[in-house]
Chain A
Amino acid sequence: MSGMNLTLRVWRQKGPDDEGRMATYKVEDVSPDMSFLEMLDVLNDRLIVAGDEPIAFDHDCREGICGMCGMVINGVAHGEQRATTTCQLHMRHFKDGDTITIEPWRASAFPVVKDLVVDRSAFDRIIQAGGFISVPAGSAPDAHSVPVPKDSADAAFDAATCIGCGACVAACPNGSASLFTAAKITHLGLLPQGQPERDSRAKAMVEQMDAEGFGGCTNTGECTVVCPKGISLDAIARMNRDYLSAK
């Protein structure tokens, strides 16, 4: 069984202050059963043996649930496979002889740390601004002490599946973090536990999103298409509503 031969064009950047450039690599005998990250692992092994610096990229669980991995593959965040993180993208979706362009998320709010690794602390600061609820400390409450309607619970859960990978920002022509911010506002705003801070949350999180230098939403819908969790534009409508009606 013979594998695929691929040409990779990869963004290499030594550090935050380096200018960076695209570099070309050939990877031979790639198994179609490899994940995209495993393919990069193979290339990195060969780079190390050759005495070169391996390509830095973020990854952790490799199960599609942590949100660490993420790269723009042939111009699409996480690659063209829908509802898929880069770690869950498999090489069977590529053909022998393909040239694949790999770049980091591009946004001023996500500065490149090295190669394909970007600093997504801006997301943490948006969450810190309002992505929380006030709960009495102490023992865990009974599961049924606060009833939640089934459809609210479902919709809140859908929004809560956001893994904070940043693909929405990477895909947005405006570099907007609206889908990420809106997912958290929706998740907490739909639940009774999230009501006390509902107004202040929307205001604080939108203000932080702006302060980080993300762009504004123009409803292009690019974000929801690349989102590995399929967060819907409904979230953004809800964020707009909560923000505009906040006291």
Chain B
Amino acid sequence: MIDRGEATDSVRPPAAHSPKKPTKPAAKTGRFTSTNGKKAVMAVTGAIMVLFLIGHVLGNLKVFSGAQSFNDYAEFLRTAGEPAVPRRTVLTLVEIVLVLAVGLHMWSAISLARRAAKARPVKYAAKRKNQAGGYATRTMRWGGVIIVLFLIWHLLDLTFGVANPAGSAGLPYDRMVQGFAPERWWVTLFYAVSLVMVGLHLRHGLWSAVQTLGLASGRTRKGLQLAAAAFSLVLVIGFLAVPFAVMIGVVK
């Protein structure tokens, strides 16, 4: 009746029973280095990046108003603030803020992921069943890695132009059209996959940021989650509109 196994032979009471407790108190955490603090850093830096994405997608859509409009817009980004401040001042400031935001976002994500791994050294033998989380929630960490890889390619392709057929000397519109040319379908595919990942990341990240900053409540949470999903969907469609328009020849 009983499969005795090795585990069931007689058991001595454990000698000095003292569950391992850290003898020295862990390093004191400050407001921004505690788990809650790091999450707040992640929420705020994420919000900064979302604001950037809104501006980015609106700018992209100028491609539908023609090459002139799109190139003028790109030029405006560089001349904004002139003559009060030298060329590219505003753009450089935005770039610095974004680099800081990305850096801090990744720092908090990596340190929280490492802490989480340490918090559960022994995994469950039974496959842990997700009771609540959706796909978006589970893919935040790996999704983030994919988004960073995409970001690097994207900058090389359309910002620096080194991975783009129009090259770094090409006008922004030409880079866009040649970059997403039908024969470069694999680029468009990579963009599409990555943007869906961005959408999933935001689907959890947006409402999660509000919750992390303590601004969500039971009455608003469902609405927040729906709003996050709707916003992510619209944003992804907005971004995907351009490469697909180029690929099918609507924009050329």
Interface residues of A (CB under 8 A from B): 9, 11-12, 14-18, 21-26, 28, 46-47, 50, 52-53, 72, 74-76, 80, 101, 103, 106-109, 111, 113-114, 119, 121, 171, 173-176, 178, 206-207, 209-222, 224-226, 232-234, 236-245
Note all chain A residues with C-beta closer than 8 A to B12. Answer: 14-15
Judge whether B133 and A221 touch: CB under 8 Å: yes
Docked-complex contact B4 and A52, CB < 8 angstroms: yes
Q: A216-B39, A218-B208, A243-B36 are known contacts. Are A21 and B218 too (CB-CB below 8 A)?
A: no
Q: Is the CB of A101 within 8 A of B35?
A: no
Q: Are B130 and A174 within 8 A (Cβ)?
A: no
Distance from B45 Cβ to chain A, minimum over Cβ atoms (Å):
15
C-alpha spacing A103/B124, complex, angstroms: 7
Closest beta carbon of chain A to B142's beta carbon, Å: 13
8 nearest CB pairs, A to B? A241-B214, A15-B14, A175-B119, A216-B35, A12-B7, A215-B119, A174-B116, A221-B132
A244 CB, nearest partner CB in chain B, Å:
6
Instruction: Give the secondary structure class of A's interface.
Output: mixed
Asked whether A23 and B126 contact (CB < 8 A) given A107-B119, A174-B119, A210-B35, the answer is no
User: Given the known A-B contacts A25-B3, A175-B116, A221-B132, are A232 and B218 also in contact in the complex, defined by CB atoms under 8 Å?
Assistant: yes
Given contacts A215-B118, A218-B140, 16 further A-B contacts (CB under 8 A): A9-B125, A53-B8, A111-B20, A121-B21, A174-B119, A206-B35, A207-B34, A214-B119, A217-B39, A218-B112, A218-B137, A219-B211, A220-B138, A221-B137, A236-B211, A243-B214
Asked if B11 contacts A53 (CB within 8 A), the reply is yes
Known A-B contacts A106-B124, A225-B131; the reply to A213 vs B36 at CB < 8 A is: no
Bound CA–CA A89/B20 (angstroms): 31
B29 cross-chain contacts in A, Cβ below 8 A: 207, 210-211
CB distance from A205 to the nearest CB of B (A): 10
Q: Which of B36, B126, B208, B216 contacts A75 (CB 8 A)?
A: B126
In the complex, which residue of chain A has the Cβ closest to the Cβ of B130?
A: A222
- 19 example contacts (A-B, Cβ-Cβ < 8 A) are as follows A15-B12, A16-B14, A21-B7, A23-B3, A50-B1, A53-B10, A72-B126, A74-B126, A75-B124, A80-B129, A173-B138, A174-B112, A207-B29, A212-B26, A215-B35, A217-B36, A233-B216, A240-B39, A244-B214
Known A53-B11, A206-B36, A232-B218; judge A103-B1 contact (CB<8 A): no
